[in-house]
Amino acid sequence: MKHWLAATAALLVIAAPAPGDEAGRAGGEGPRYRVQPGDLLVVSVWKEKDLQAEVLVRPDGGVSFPLAGDLNASGRAIEGLRLALTERLKAYIPEPVVTVAVKQIGGNQIYVLGKVNRPGQFPFSSPVDVMQALSLAGGTTPYAALNDIVILRRENGRLEAIPFHYSQVERGRDLAQNVLLRSGDTVVVP
């Protein structure tokens, strides 16, 4: 699993668009990866040997990069972080070409616990819903209370419990409850 995750993370690279290419990554694409505390990024500036570094996103969501100083990275798409770094570096380098890549995903984690076959912490790089999270955990045990599953989510400092009724979703009913999980969510299977 770790080898697969590393290979997936290595593909999450956003290079600087060619000059004059305003289209870049705009329009029609699915959800973009959002940087989280614990992620390891590789940042480089073309033709600037001293401006190439691996950058760890701190627990407060910030990163530090030479000449650019401190920036808030948490919750930003890679392209947004690349643009912010480019703006900061313009004061020192004319027309800097900045590349940002995710080397290691360390921040996007969900947790599945209770009556599942493999409870634990699961990293993710693309959106994961509740049914997919249960699959990652090896499915439920025969004694699981499938209609009493709860997703615990911390929202603005408050813990929220979102009910999930497996049998309804399994039958194709009330599919809205099969929410996309956010980093830090916990799926509890009693």
CATH code, 61: 3.30.1950.10
Q: How many CB atoms lie within 10 A of CB 108?
A: 22
Range of the domain at 172: 109-189
- Do 58 and 84 fall into the same domain? yes
DSSP state, residue 187? E
DSSP letter (8 states) at residue 34: B
Residues 128 and 99 in one domain: no
**Count of domains forming the chain:** 2
- pLDDT, tens digit, for every residue of 141-151? 999 999 999 99
**Is 171 part of any domain?**
yes
The phi and psi torsions of 104 (rounded to 5 degrees) equal: -145, 130
Q: Are residues 91 and 113 in the same domain?
A: no
If you search the block for the tokens 């990275």, which residue do you land on?
73
In this prediction, residue 30 has a pLDDT band, given cuts at 50, 70 and 90, of: low
If asked whether residues 135 and 63 sit together in one domain, one would say no
The model carries a pTM of 0.62
| Final residue before a domain boundary, out of 76, 106, 136 | 106
Instruction: Compute CA distances 39 → 20, 42, 104, 143, whole Å.
Output: 30, 10, 6, 37
Question: For residue 25, is pLDDT > 90?
Answer: no
Q: Is the predicted pLDDT of residue 6 greater than 90, yes or no?
A: no
Indicate the residue among 60, 78, 106 that finishes a domain: 106
Same-domain check for residues 132 and 159: yes
Q: Which of 56, 86, 106 is the last residue of a domain?
A: 106
- Residue 79 and residue 47 share a domain: yes
**Residue 145 parent element (H or E):** none
Same domain flag for 123 and 159 = yes
Is 87 found in the same domain as 119?
no
Co-location of 89 and 153 in the same domain: no
| 55-68: pLDDT as tens digits | 999 989 999 999 99
User: In this structure, what CATH number is given to the domain that contains residue 175?
Assistant: 3.10.560.10
Question: pLDDT digit string (tens) for 94-147?
Answer: 999 999 999 988 878 899 999 999 999 998 877 899 999 999 999 999 999 999
